[in-house]
Structure 1
């Protein structure tokens, strides 16, 4: 296995590196899945991922891929590899959220079957399973590993991918996601009437009013939307800021909220509904970010092939579902590449203080990917 470069920014480039690529140390059992994940987790990638992506590029080149590096976001290049003229794309990402309250984010720990570390489930565990799978089969395929999915998400939008279908690896508990929710991130500004803090009953506290505004927000039609594949929408107040101190009645409060958008609504529909509501209530309203939902025809060949491969390995047929979180599948579908979302582990544990994924699940995911690649390229 190639030596892992230093994790900070590199001054070199993969294409101008050594003429002879560093070889993959396989040992008797081939590339080791846990060792792969340990190396991936050891490299912090919440701010930049250049060093780690150089290592991924070297490994893919060593496995027979024609590899290119595309620095679409500064310090966060996308790695794109093609082997044997394959037209099925496997896509995931190595960037993560920051360590936050994770006690040992960059040391892969084990607790029974659990592999614990930042990115273990979202999505370095998926990347490890992908890399392990393509080391165990010579089937033609394409690989795209992005490094900006958690923020800008330009990698899957702009990398020069030419594929006929894609599987985006994210934690789905082995359910096959053929729909994805959109989202709307908004800022509400609620104004009050300030004065001495001992007279909140005679004044208007903007912070209290912001709590009431959020409660009202949860009762709008957008919040009650349903979809047969996506288990309800959501409203998450992620940041609140206002006031000057306990002895002053707050005159202004800003509240940032993430809101799910389910098909057939679009993000534009949600903006229209919320802006009209905010205007009617006298609130300031600003859109911070937005994304449209999508639905994929379950009769697409990539869905059927993936269902067949997963059924063969798991001994049961996975259910079709929808995905709440944003993934690179939106960009790929927007480019005309039918993309389904699938992977090991549970998204609920992502971004947490004890982010983990099951080793048995990663091993099963690798076997599913091997079966899928061989079925896709077979007769």
Structure 2
């Protein structure tokens, strides 16, 4: 971990750290120290996006239309990173808080979460599962059957499931194929595994944010299950109560992606008052 510099803004001093254990996978953590005696809060978001191939238009040219900003990562999650930075700057201005505020902009959120893993080494404080074949390789030509195929599967888990159970499930399916299909053999290799996450509704940070979100939005925030994995599971496993809360939009990982700009403003307001309340 390398401390880059100290930044003073309106009375708040933020120590900025750069982490890059894996070359090219850089994370940045800014720490605004409180006066002492208050609770600490980390706001975590990933810097990377999925690839640009297949995006409809220029994925890196932001386009605003009818209250929406379009572009790769606008929703997932450059918009969220922007709200986190603005809200943290507003809440820490003047040095009024007692607790520390950490803004962690991490690498590798779209795959192995190596950024959050590295951050946690230095800073300590749904429905059914799904499976899809994301990469398939094999064959030599269109007129012959391939003697060998390599298939990469992604099996998304939900709370209550684990890697051992998923491996047994897949092995059972493949065993049935091996018993019924002549000359079929397989070798199952476990890849990256991440545990599912479920926010604790009674955790202080969850109660605090939910209360302020309801006041800002004028109605209780929508609580729902998501089919994707996030760094929240790593934070939770490290003993840091957390939740996932974001802006409205559509198209994460799709050919067209946008974020609702009005929801970014509301998100910034919710985060600002949450930081101020939680860390005071």
TM-score for both structures, normalised by structure 2? 0.84
Which residue of structure 2 lines up, in the alignment, with residue 358 of structure 1? 260
- Relative to structure 1, the CA distance from residue 243 to residue 81 in structure 2 (aligned partners, 3 Å threshold; closer, same or farther) is same
1:322 paired with 2:225, answer yes
Q: With CA pairs under 8 Å and 6+ residues apart, which has the higher RCO, 1 or 2?
A: 2
Which residue of structure 2 lines up, in the alignment, with residue 130 of structure 1? 84
2:75·2:252 contact (CA, 8 Å) conserved in 1? yes
Which residue of structure 2 lines up, in the alignment, with residue 116 of structure 1? 70
What displacement does 1:136 show? 2.2
- Relative to structure 1, the CA distance from residue 62 to residue 104 in structure 2 (aligned partners, 3 Å threshold; closer, same or farther) is farther
Which residue of structure 2 lines up, in the alignment, with residue 301 of structure 1? 204
1:104·1:117 contact (CA, 8 Å) conserved in 2? yes
What is the CA–CA distance in structure 2 between the aligned matches of 1:233 and 1:366, rounded to whole Å?
32
- Relative to structure 1, the CA distance from residue 156 to residue 258 in structure 2 (aligned partners, 3 Å threshold; closer, same or farther) is same
2:127·2:158 contact (CA, 8 Å) conserved in 1? no
What is the CA–CA distance in structure 1 between the aligned matches of 2:218 and 2:207, rounded to whole Å?
16
Which residue of structure 2 lines up, in the alignment, with residue 186 of structure 1? none
Measured against aligned partners, the alpha-carbon deviations of 1:298-327 in whole angstroms (never above 9, x if no partner) come to: 111111011011101101111333332121
What is the CA–CA distance in structure 2 between the aligned matches of 1:352 and 1:82, rounded to whole Å?
34
What is the CA–CA distance in structure 2 between the aligned matches of 1:266 and 1:247, rounded to whole Å?
41
What displacement does 1:99 show? 1.2
Q: Which runs of 4+ in 1 moved over 4 A?
A: 60-63
1:41-56 maps to which residues of 2 (within 5 A)?
none
What is the CA–CA distance in structure 1 between the aligned matches of 2:236 and 2:10, rounded to whole Å?
27
| Alignment equivalent of 1:251, drawn from 144, 147, 160 | 147
What is the CA–CA distance in structure 2 between the aligned matches of 1:248 and 1:67, rounded to whole Å?
58
1:90·1:142 contact (CA, 8 Å) conserved in 2? yes
Runs of 5+ consecutive residues of structure 2 not aligned to the other structure = 179-184
Which residue of structure 2 lines up, in the alignment, with residue 222 of structure 1? none
| Alignment equivalent of 2:191, drawn from 263, 280, 288 | 288
Query: Secondary structure of 1:64's partner?
Result: strand
Which residue of structure 2 lines up, in the alignment, with residue 90 of structure 1? 43
What displacement does 1:155 show? 1.7
Which residue of structure 1 lines up, in the alignment, with residue 181 of structure 2? none
Which residue of structure 1 lines up, in the alignment, with residue 182 of structure 2? none
TM-score for both structures, normalised by structure 1? 0.63
> Which sits farther off after the overlay, 126-135 or 150-159?
150-159
- Relative to structure 1, the CA distance from residue 141 to residue 77 in structure 2 (aligned partners, 3 Å threshold; closer, same or farther) is same
1:72·1:154 contact (CA, 8 Å) conserved in 2? no
Structure exhibiting the larger radius of gyration computed from Cα positions: 1
- How many residues get paired? 259
- Relative to structure 1, the CA distance from residue 84 to residue 249 in structure 2 (aligned partners, 3 Å threshold; closer, same or farther) is closer
2:136·2:149 contact (CA, 8 Å) conserved in 1? yes
1:163-178 maps to which residues of 2 (within 5 A)?
163=125
What do you get for the CA RMSD once the two structures are aligned? Answer: 2.4
1:63·1:134 contact (CA, 8 Å) conserved in 2? no
What displacement does 1:62 show? 10
Query: Secondary structure of 1:286's partner?
Result: coil
1:243·1:253 contact (CA, 8 Å) conserved in 2? yes
What is the CA–CA distance in structure 1 between the aligned matches of 2:230 and 2:12, rounded to whole Å?
26
What is the CA–CA distance in structure 2 between the aligned matches of 1:142 and 1:14, rounded to whole Å?
14
Query: Secondary structure of 2:141's partner?
Result: coil
1:69 paired with 2:18, answer yes
Query: Secondary structure of 1:239's partner?
Result: strand
1:65·1:83 contact (CA, 8 Å) conserved in 2? yes
What is the CA–CA distance in structure 2 between the aligned matches of 1:158 and 1:242, rounded to whole Å?
36
1:263-274 maps to which residues of 2 (within 5 A)?
263-274=159-170
1:97·1:150 contact (CA, 8 Å) conserved in 2? yes
Runs of 5+ consecutive residues of structure 1 not aligned to the other structure = 1-12, 24-59, 164-229
